[in-house]
A and B are shown apart, each in its own frame.
Chain A
Amino acid sequence: DAGITQSPRHKVTETGTPVTLRCHQTENHRYMYWYRQDPGHGLRLIHYSYGVKDTDKGEVSDGYSVSRSKTEDFLLTLESATSSQTSVYFCAISEPGNQPQHFGDGTRLSIL
């Protein structure tokens, strides 16, 4: 993988609790993304960042927030987790100019 680390890799938590997922890159890429992957829905973009402190919403942003205080880290927060947010979450990075995205290994999140 292109220097992308997601943590934790697995998490089980309860409805109503806050959850933060971390994506760390060592590639100094400008863009970072958070996706969720669910059966029957493919990959859906949650939020993305085009620079430090610059973020925007994706297709399924409700219930999620993000922060990027430095180039290498992009955090995804579920303020109050719900069972519908049980999913596999992927982080990706890329450079501008129609460059490909490179993906992390994912975080499997289960909300009971």
Chain B
Amino acid sequence: GNSVTQMEGPVTLSEEAFLTINCTYTATGYPSLFWYVQYPGEGLQLLLKATKADDKGSNKGFEATYRKETTSFHLEKGSVQVSDSAVYFCALSANNAGNMLTFGGGTRLMVKP
């Protein structure tokens, strides 16, 4: 079956530090890959997506590249801000009838001033 593995948190960084959150996946076929962000007390928001190998998704300074050879979709940001503190979820959709997502367990990011 499909699965998504994320690095466990929390990840604690100082403002302006470089961020990497690792995500690897197992799936049949050619999945689409997503990163979602959840701020405290809110629902999940789509941060970025990639639908085929070597695609790079980007939004709000965050980037992730779909690497089929390493089955990875790592999230990166060059300089984090306190406002980036949230929980980040990696997810995939793999050509299933219900368009269902398989989520990773989430990684909490804490950015200190």
Q: What residues of chain A have their CB less than 8 Å away from a CB belonging to chain B?
A: 1, 31, 33, 42-43, 45, 48, 50, 56, 58, 90, 92, 94-106
Contact pick for A103, options B45, B51, B94, B95, CB 8 Å: B45
Chain B 34-58 interface 0/1 with A at a Cβ cutoff of 8 Å (1 = within): 1010000011111001010000000
Contact between A100 and B46, CB atoms less than 8 A apart: yes
Contact between A50 and B98, CB atoms less than 8 A apart: yes
Interface size class of B (residues with CB under 8 A): 20 to 34
Chain B 82-99 interface 0/1 with A at a Cβ cutoff of 8 Å (1 = within): 000000010001110111
Q: What residues of chain B have their CB less than 8 Å away from a CB belonging to chain A?
A: 31-32, 34, 36, 42-46, 49, 51, 89, 93-95, 97-101, 103-106
CB distance from B87 to the nearest CB of A (A): 10
Contact between B105 and A98, CB atoms less than 8 A apart: no
Pairs across A and B, CB under 8 Å, 7 listed: A1-B45, A96-B99, A98-B32, A99-B99, A100-B32, A103-B43, A106-B42
Residues of A within 8 A of B42 (CB): 105-106
CB distance from A48 to the nearest CB of B (A): 5
Contact between B32 and A43, CB atoms less than 8 A apart: no
Residues of A within 8 A of B95 (CB): 98
- A51 to B111 Cα, complex, angstroms: 42
Query: Which one of A95, A99, A101, A102 has the greatest number of beta carbons of chain B within 10 Å?
Result: A101
CB distance from B16 to the nearest CB of A (A): 30
Contact between B105 and A42, CB atoms less than 8 A apart: yes
- A33 to B49 Cα, complex, angstroms: 20
Contact pick for A56, options B93, B94, B98, CB 8 Å: B98
